[in-house]
Amino acid sequence: MRSRSLFQDSDLSTDSGATSDSEIDVENEDSDEDAPVTASNFAARSRALDAQAAREAQLDEEELQMAAQANADEFADIEDMDEDEEEEREEEKKAGGPEVHVVQKRMRECVRILKRARSEFVEQLVLDIASYYGYNDFLAVKLFQLFPISEAIEFFDANEVPRPVTIRTNTLRTRRRDLAQALINRGVNLEPIGKWTNVGLQVFESSVPIGATPEYLSGHYMLQAASSFLPVIALSPQPHERVLDMASSPGGKTTHMAALMQNTGIIFANDANKARTKSLTANVHRLGCKNVVVCSYDGREFPKVMGGLIVCYSTRHAAGRASSVRMQASKLTRDFTLLSHLQKQLILCAIDSVSPGSKAGGYLVYSTCAVTVDENEAVVDYALRKRPNVRLVDTGLEFGRPGFTSYRGKSFHTSVNLTRRFYPHVHNMDGFFVAKFKVTKRAKQAKEEDEEKHETVMDEDVPSQGVRFDEKEDKEYIQGFSEAKRRRLKARGLRAPARHQFARASGTEDPV
């Protein structure tokens, strides 16, 4: 909005030298604008400021109308040009053919355009996108290659628009209907997010700060992005289960899982950044979650720290969120390589932390707030290759686009299409990726357990009367069985007794 002096505006508004009383007051107040405000000039200066604001608003409105009219005229000119070309061609056909010089001019114009390859136009478009939206060239190319050309522009435009404000009802303290009615009574305009969630509400406008209402302070709801609902819905934790959230701060997804589990079982809410656990702990207490244990470990240490989990949720924070232009402005090839490598380490550690022998089965949800293939499909495909005992299953999400099974010459596992992608220009939420794994027993471990069961059955079938064994001959086999049992205990993360204790228990220890 341009700044103008009151004297200049009053001159522009005069007609043939005629000056109104209000304009004289404006000029007088403009000349005395540095003078102190007193009771005598207070009203006049107030009128002058109101008049100036009204004139500037009127000028801004006129400029917007002129810009809109210019855009409309531009599109109209393009349509008129298309219509004129069609009319010219029809007239040429009626006249028996076009004139020679017109055809020659048209041919030269087509040749001039065709001299440049399509890649040159695409390259120029990407450079313009980087300049216009504030990305660096590398990131602009990285995101541009994810979509067709027309859709890529929609994606970049959607990143410039703020996402809707959404809240999640804490079912440990209230119901969504009661919460909605209480907020409506406080002057909040809201409605349910969609049919895919029964706890989410979208806030359009509010006459009170949505993060400082008595309901918020009482823990009736959590300010949470709609995309953060998705991984918890996919994981669907049940009561009395053991769950690990590897990157839980600030606690939106952790408290969501606690509500689904009805404050039963146990949730290990981990965050590598110890400073972030303060907000996590505060939200856990505010929302009344009693089954949460807050800890701060590097996610890659979790197979050693703890195992035997029924379900596991692995994610990362917005270190590379593609929906934020400012956060991605300095990302380069090395950053994406390091992030992808870290994600591969975390997902393998998460898989190893899950116990496949539980009644409900072991499940893992991997999600990121990024849209690049390097951190999503490439990581999932890596986990499938490195851990043959896992497989992808349906996420249970009714919307979202399937993941890529091939991308720019790279082929991924065919089951990667079970993953789901979410985009701001399609789903009106932050860019997000969700994949769900089913963790089963490893082939070697399952084979050893089957053999152990089979040996137990055979021992029960053999009658004990009149049968004697040569202890010296069987000593080697019994010791080998004990050693295998010790290895299985270590693989499960349990403490195995010393070898001499196994020998004493099995009766194979040499007498002293």
Residue that has been written with the tokens 């951190």 in this structure: 375
Strands (E), 37-174: 165-169
Q: Of 289, 312, 349, 369, which one is the catalytic site residue?
A: 369
Contact by Cβ (8 Å): 235, 257: yes
∠ CA 435-436-442 to the nearest 5 degrees? 125
- Cα–Cα nearest to 202, from 178, 233, 180: 180
Between the CA of residue 427 and those of 158, 323, 422, 423, 424, what are the distances in Å?
10, 13, 6, 6, 6
Amino acid identity of residue 308, one-letter, is G
Do β-strands 420-422 and 432-439 pair in parallel, antiparallel, or remain unpaired? antiparallel
Amino acid identity of residue 421, one-letter, is R
Name the strand (E) or helix (H) holding 124.
helix 118-133
Question: How far apart, in whole angstroms, are the C-alpha atoms of residue 208 and residue 104?
Answer: 68
- Cα–Cα nearest to 307, from 273, 351, 247, 263: 351
Amino acid identity of residue 169, one-letter, is T
Question: How far apart, in whole angstroms, are the C-alpha atoms of residue 502 and residue 479?
Answer: 8
Question: How far apart, in whole angstroms, are the C-alpha atoms of residue 5 and residue 55?
Answer: 11
**DSSP assignment, residue 388?**
T
Task: State yes or no: is 369 an active-site residue.
Answer: yes
Residue 393, CB-side half-sphere exposure with 13 Å CA sphere: 15
Q: Which residues are catalytic?
A: 369
